Structure formats: C-alpha cells, structure tokens
Structure 1
Amino acid sequence: MHLLWKDGAPLPAPVVIGPGADGARQLAELYAPPPDRIHVRAMMNTTVDGAIAGADGISGSLRNPTDSFLFSVLRALCDVILVGARTVREEDYRRPQGREDLLLPSRRPGGASRPALAILTRSGDLPATVEADWPTYLLVPAQHRETIAARGIVPPAQVLVAEDAPEAVAALAGLGMRAIQAEGGPSVLGQLAARGILDELCFSVTHRTVGGPSPRVLDGIGHAQRWELSSLLVGEEATLTRYRRA
C-alpha cells in the first residue's frame, strides 16, 4: 500500500508500506495511541457505497487482505476492544489479540500482552465463543447486573455497571485502560460520537459496492462535529482513512 497523507498533511512523495513485519511496524508507529491519556478510537470497515455489511448481513464478508492487515496492527496497540453485544453475536470475537510480531514488547499503553474485550449488553445474551479465560468485561445496566453476573459468563468482578457507551468508556478508563478501540456496532459508535468522546474515526473502505439497506457507521441522535483527515493509505483492495476530531 502507499501512504499519501500523514499527520494531517500530504506527503511530498508516497511512502510504500509492505504487507510483512516491516510494514506492520510502520503502521504501528503511524497509529500509535498517546501513552499518557485516555484515547478512544473507532475502527470500522465500509464499502465504497457506505455499507458496513455485505449481502450476508455481516461485516466479515467485506474483509480483505488490506483491511485485515490494518485490523491486526490496531488490535496490537489497544488496551481494550469495546463492542456491542449484537456485533459479538454476529461476528467472531475469539481472542482478538492482534499481530503476534507486535506483541512483545507490548505497544499497549497499559502494557498488557493482549487486549481485554469489553461487551455492552443489556441481557447477557452472548454466544459460546465468549471465553471466560480471556480478559473479558461485560458492561451492563445497574438493574441487570446481579442477574447477568449470576449467569457466570465471566467472573462477577468483571461485570461492570454502565448504562451506555460513554459510561462504558469511563468504567474501562477507571480500570487503567487508556487505549480504547470501539469496533461497533453503529449505535455504540453513535453514542460515543454524539457525546464527543471519540478521538479518532478509522475506516477501511473496501473497493466494493453491495447496495441494499445496510446501516450507517453511526446510528444515534443528530450532532454536528468537524473531523480532520490525519492519514491516508491506499491499498490494492481498500483505502485506509483516519480522521481526528477537530
């Protein structure tokens, strides 16, 4: 792929980033989260016509080597992956640790060898793919906490009270998790954006159209925010954009 835009400005000449370990390290440096403050990044895959799901209704069918390469790097940089329960039910969220060649030494601000998985759920209705031995947290409404904790999906201490996505971010930050990567769904990202909590919007725009009634990246109350293009990479199968809140 070619890096065309960096740190909010066009480069005088494209920088080639290969698909191997050297390219992964270049991307890790480009996307490194700030080490000393809470940073909330959204990462989503879309199509050229704005769909976030393929004809099968899930985003997995939009994956491609360019997209998967970036996802593997970003997951090696964050302390926790925040996601809604519906996305967990529809997608595979088993052991999302990121690229192995970026894990040691840890590039996560919190220093862990793998990211925690934080799931927003009101019911605790989650698939069997959620593994209790992976660092997993359930963010649930206060009135449902005891019932969900009693189901034993994760240890009770890892069932945290959060009424919405912004409260979930606050709860995770309270545990020392500074680099928070939100991966959907649209309602989770919509809540974070509307409250001005998202610091970055990162997109992998797959070079494909699918049509149909796919939802938008953000779904929530209306708001008006300005975003600035921070970086731009063009790969064979996807264009990777990164926006920072102005």
Structure 2
Amino acid sequence: MQLLFSRSAAAPGPISADALATIYRHEPADEEGRIRLRTNFVSTLDGSISGADGRSGSINTPSDHYVFALHRALSDAILVGAGTVRAEGYRAVDLADWQRDLRAAEGLSAYPTLNIVSASGRVDPAVATPAAGPGGPVCLITTERADGPLDELRDAGVDVVRLPGESVSLPAVANLLAERGQSRVLCEGGPQLHRDLLAADLVDEVSLTISPMMVAGDGRRSTRGPALPDPRHFGLHQALHAEDETLFLLYRRRA
C-alpha cells in the first residue's frame, strides 16, 4: 500500500499495516461526547456501488476486503440499514485474530456492536448468529409501530430498542450510541440511511474505495432519496493506492 496524500504528519510513500491502522484510527469524541461517524462505501469507476448481482461483494478487491476489515476492527459500532442487512446477508460481527489483537491494543471491546436501523423491525433473527465462530452483540433500533418478529429477535439474543414515532430518529440513534459508549461509529450503508445521516448532519467522515472496474448497468449510488436542501461539503484527508490498483480516499467534513 502506498500513501499518496495525507493532511496529517504522515509522509507519502510505502505504508505498513501498523501505520495504516494509525491513519484510519477514529478521531476522539468531542467534549460533549458526540459520536464520530464514518461512512464506508466501495464504488466502481463508473459510479456503481454494486455489481451485476446487486451486491457490493462482486466489486470488492483484495485490498478493499482488508481495509473494510480494518474499519471494523477500529470501530465501537457498525450502523447499517435493514435493507442492506437483507441484501448483503449480514450476521453478528465475527473477527479474525489480527482484528481482535488490534482491538485489544486500542483498548476497544472484544467485538463491535452491529446496530440495525429499521422502522418496521422486519429482520431475520438469524442475524444474531455469526457466520463463523463467536461474534459481537446485535442491536435492532426500531419504532413503536414495528411489526417485525421482535420476540423472536429477543429470543435469539438481539437487543431490541423501540424509539417513539413512526420513523427512526437518527439524532436519537446517535444519542443512544453515545450513551452506550459507542463513539467510534462505522456506517456501512445502505444508500437511504447514508442520505438520511447526511441530511441530519451526522456524517463526519466518508471513506470511499474506488474499485478499478467498470460495470455499466443500473447500479446504485452511495446515497438514495430526495436531494439535500444544503449540500454537505467534505475535504480530502488522505489518499492511498494498493497494488491491485484500488484507490482509497478518506474525506472529512468541513466546518
């Protein structure tokens, strides 16, 4: 991996795995305890966040798999919409040995919590079971009107939180995560949740992987929904290039 540009003290050039973890470490929570929220997406050169199968896995590269795993290793919480949970087959977060070692060195809990946002609560209780080995806790954040299998989810070990109202208030979600000490938050999608987080002005960083391929078709963008009343502006914080020709860009919100 080559560091091409950084606004921090890191100099351009080859970068080790330890240094990569350092530059992707989350900024600390502010004095008011506000969470630091980073969104992470992979996109093709022609702007699609999914391949012909409708999933992001078909446009990932080996280096993107590693950086994706690094993001998870450095986070307290994974935030994801229920549509993405269903489309991508999400399960409780399991980690490799190197990820657990890194978390221990960073003073983090053994596993990040998977927080699922769903107004309806329609999530398969199988989400509580990791794909392999032990996994982290799962929390469903839903509404009072939710009609999903909430009892089955609780029986499976999912923490179900019902917020007032007909839709899930994202500022309330941010407050809930902050109260639970989950200040380093990684949002992995989907596009509607990403758009709504931007609209709520909760996104601090955007991590964008550019996969070196073209897919055409009708692939989705990293956001979906009505245009933002006011565009959100971000500045490039760092750029890296991998041997498999993948480009990694990290943007931070401008004041």
Whether these two folds match at TM > 0.5 is yes
SS in 2 for 1:55: coil
Aligned to 1:124: 121
Whether the 8 Å contact between 1:47 and 1:209 is mirrored in structure 2 is yes
Displacement of 1:140: 0.4
2:174 is equivalent to residue 177 of structure 1 = no
Whether the 8 Å contact between 1:187 and 1:220 is mirrored in structure 2 is yes
2:146 to 144, 147, 172: 144
2:14 to 13, 16, 21: 16
Deviations 1:90-128 (CA, angstroms, capped at 9, x unpaired) = 114234345522423626977201111011123333245
SS in 1 for 2:66: helix
Aligned to 1:20: none
1:35 to 9, 28, 38: 28
Deviations 1:35-76 (CA, angstroms, capped at 9, x unpaired) = 344200001111111101101111111111111010111110
Alpha carbons of structure 1 residues 74 and 161: separation in structure 2 relative to 1, 3 Å:
same
The residue identity in structure 2 corresponding to 1:73 is: L
Alpha carbons of structure 1 residues 189 and 39: separation in structure 2 relative to 1, 3 Å:
same
CA RMSD of aligned residues (A): 2.5
The residue identity in structure 2 corresponding to 1:16 is: P
Alpha carbons of structure 1 residues 36 and 196: separation in structure 2 relative to 1, 3 Å:
closer
Displacement of 1:212: 1.2
Aligned to 2:132: none
Q: Which moved more, 1:61-70 or 1:95-104?
A: 95-104
1:241 to 233, 249, 255: 249
The residue identity in structure 2 corresponding to 1:71 is: F
1:227 to 219, 231, 234: 234
Whether the 8 Å contact between 2:120 and 2:145 is mirrored in structure 1 is no
SS in 2 for 1:29: helix
Q: Which moved more, 1:170-179 or 1:50-59?
A: 170-179
TM-score (norm 2): 0.83
The residue identity in structure 2 corresponding to 1:42 is: T
TM-score (norm 1): 0.86
Q: Which runs of 5+ in 2 are unaligned?
A: 130-134
For 1:105 and 1:212, locate their aligned partners in 2 and report how far apart those are by CA, in whole Å.
Answer: 39
SS in 1 for 2:18: helix
Alpha carbons of structure 1 residues 225 and 109: separation in structure 2 relative to 1, 3 Å:
farther
For 1:239 and 1:213, locate their aligned partners in 2 and report how far apart those are by CA, in whole Å.
Answer: 23
SS in 1 for 2:53: coil
Aligned to 2:81: 84
Displacement of 1:155: 6.5
Whether the 8 Å contact between 1:77 and 1:107 is mirrored in structure 2 is no
State the number of aligned residues: 238
Aligned to 1:5: 5
Alpha carbons of structure 1 residues 138 and 216: separation in structure 2 relative to 1, 3 Å:
same
Whether the 8 Å contact between 1:230 and 1:243 is mirrored in structure 2 is yes
Q: Which runs of 5+ in 1 are unaligned?
A: 18-22
SS in 2 for 1:237: coil
Displacement of 1:164: 3.7
Whether the 8 Å contact between 2:79 and 2:185 is mirrored in structure 1 is yes
